[in-house]
Amino acid sequence: MSEPVHLLFGVHMHQPAGNFAEVMHHAHERCYRPFFETLWNYPEFRFALHVSGWLLDWLAQQYPEDVQRIRQMVERGQIELFGGGDCEPVLAVIPYRDRLSQLGTLSDRLEKTLGARPVGAWLTERVWEATVVPALSESGIFYTAVDDYHFLCSGLDLQKLDGYYTTEEDGHVLNLFPISQELRYKIPFSQPELAISAVSKLAQEHVAAAVYFDDIEKFGIWPQTWQWVYGEKWLNRFIEGILAHPNIRVSHYFDYIRQDSSRGIVYLPTTSYIEMNEWTLSKEHADRFNDLVEALRKSGIYDIDKPFVRGGIWKNFFSRYPESNWMHKRMLGLSERVEKSSLRKTNPELTLLLHLSQTNDAYWHGLFGGLYLPHLRRLVFSSLIALEKKLETLKPAPNIEQNDWDLDGYVETRFHNPKLSIWIREDGAASIHELDVYELGHNLADTLRRQPEHYYRKMEQQGESGSHEGIASPHDRVSFKQLITSADMIADPFPRTSFRDSLSFSDKSVQPVMYLPVEFSRQGLEYRAESLRKYYHVSDNVLTVRYEFSPIQVEFNTVLNLSMPSCDGPGGRVIVHNEILGGFGLPHNLSLCKGLILEDEVLGGRIALRFSRPLSVSLTPFHTVSQSEAGFEKIMQALTVSLKTEVHDKEWVEIQLVFEKKSLGY
């Protein structure tokens, strides 16, 4: 008889801060409540739980009876709590001081709410960099779990991953458990007997520990899983089979590490799970990477050689998506301001806002990841804006600042007053790429350019792939939530900024306006181009953009991409002459218009556009194509406002945006 294998079973429980209430309640109804109700009936089935701080608070407010059940499961020794960053940041991309703050805050929260302080931690998206070790160690964390793939990339063989290993960084020590990819893919998608067999065979191979740690949302929220896991009793059958098996012993990570010794020292390379390493690549490189992987699979050597085929690293998302990089660098800048203010300990609201701005979901995109979801980016920006507003009252910054904040090679100019802040990248376009309205707590320039994605290739397939052993994993599904055409996937030649100008000539040619570097005056910012001057001015809650032409006779065009939180939902209104024309999701064309109003229920306010002369106005919704575990879909990113007029020598055009916070009474 072989020695029993210890099943170390863990689930990770997280929802992005700022997620829709209906999504949260759906997740609770389809997953969180039935999962813990099921596990409650099997007190001898021990498991680890990681829950992010924002989600735990939400559950405590909305469903206190479920949080009380979890606390009782902790008290009776069934649940081992894992810590981590409070608002689920990728620890490797936030400053050391914020790592300590995030880790300590969640440990405090778990101890207060669930009655125990963690000594293990979950790493967001299993993003590993050795630099996170000191902060974890100093925060009282002794171990974490990352993919077995991480260990394979360090040169270890899969057969040697029969326990935990130890690493160190700068004198700080941390123990590492290898999560089994095979178990991640089988649980809960294969028949329970096959998943149990995968665990038990490890005992025959003299493996001491079978490590599973993955998203709890697989148990009810992912497509097809609710009926499979609860309707067809997959979870009950799995648990009962595990508990009845003579060669499987269910253990806590903490108990296992106390009774068994480390397998030795290991140093892991910077990496995440295999799929993430593909998602971080550009379309061209991801296509090539995927082709290489498929070729290796067909040749039968992929499972052997996959440690040497690694793709990219998580930080590549900042290189791939300038919008993500900008959010990240804005966060870093405000983190430094918080530190210099010396108010972190005396003003906990500053810390909370900073933590929220570090929530990982809005910074990346793959099968998961919410960069493409406007409401998740909005949470990051609203936190940054609220934080900046508070810091401005404590130690105001100059009303005009210049720096290359995002390290892209272009200086950015910030021009602001107590109510408005505009950011202009000095790349020659003189257009706004961040427009913050402090009273509304919103960045109206928060949109996303359309760029090629690797999954566009998948959309050429039709239907869904299935599994003969269970249900299809989202990694294998190809499904469409709505009709998508090739026109929806055309890449943008320019960033989706506001007040991006062009001139149309009599020969039908269109020429983007390129401006000389900014000049400063009493009126604000001044840009000069051939035959054209452009001025930005902010006063109270009004942004004024003025154009002066000389000598010239052309059609002038400017485009605004406005991030309206209602998107194509029912809360948006386009109003002209006190008449509601429709929502933001519909196209509208207006000739000789002197102004219009954009009302937004979600924003809690309105934007009045006023023109010094009648302009031709075109309003169109801008969409990007995104993927998720539920399928491919189009997501509205912005309302594109195109303004046109004929101009002659010595003429001028002035455009005003007036921002108002008000109860719309819907």
Q: What are phi and psi of 522, to 5 degrees?
A: -60, -30
CA angle 428, 430, 436 (to 5 degrees): 140
DSSP conformation class of 531: T
- Under 8 Å between Cβ of 563 and 445: yes
Q: What are phi and psi of 629, to 5 degrees?
A: -65, -20
Give long-range contacts, CB 8 A cutoff, 24+ apart: 464-472.
467/189, 467/190, 469/189, 469/190, 469/191, 469/194, 470/188, 470/189, 470/190, 470/191, 470/194, 470/228, 471/189, 471/224, 471/225, 471/228, 472/189, 472/223, 472/224
List the one residue out of 330, 339, 337, 386 whose CA is nearest residue 358.
330
**Both structure tokens of 459:** 């959309």
- The answer to whether 125 is a known catalytic residue is yes
d(CA 532, CA 392): 35
Give long-range contacts, CB 8 A cutoff, 24+ apart: 57-63.
57/109, 58/15, 58/24, 59/28, 59/32, 60/113, 62/24, 62/25, 62/28, 63/28, 63/32, 63/33
For the chain, the 3-state helix, strand and coil shares in percent, each to the nearest 5, are 35, 30, 35
List the one residue out of 74, 18, 82 whose CA is nearest residue 254.
82
Looking at 80, 86, 88, 125, which residue is catalytic?
125
Reply yes or no: is the peptide bond before residue 223 cis, omega within 30 of 0: no
d(CA 41, CA 188): 19
**Both structure tokens of 407:** 């390290």
d(CA 619, CA 599): 14
- Under 8 Å between Cβ of 179 and 147: yes
- Under 8 Å between Cβ of 489 and 451: no
Looking at 138, 162, 182, 215, which residue is catalytic?
215
- Under 8 Å between Cβ of 542 and 660: no
d(CA 232, CA 543): 59
d(CA 666, CA 664): 6
d(CA 280, CA 371): 12
The residues annotated as belonging to the active site are 125, 215
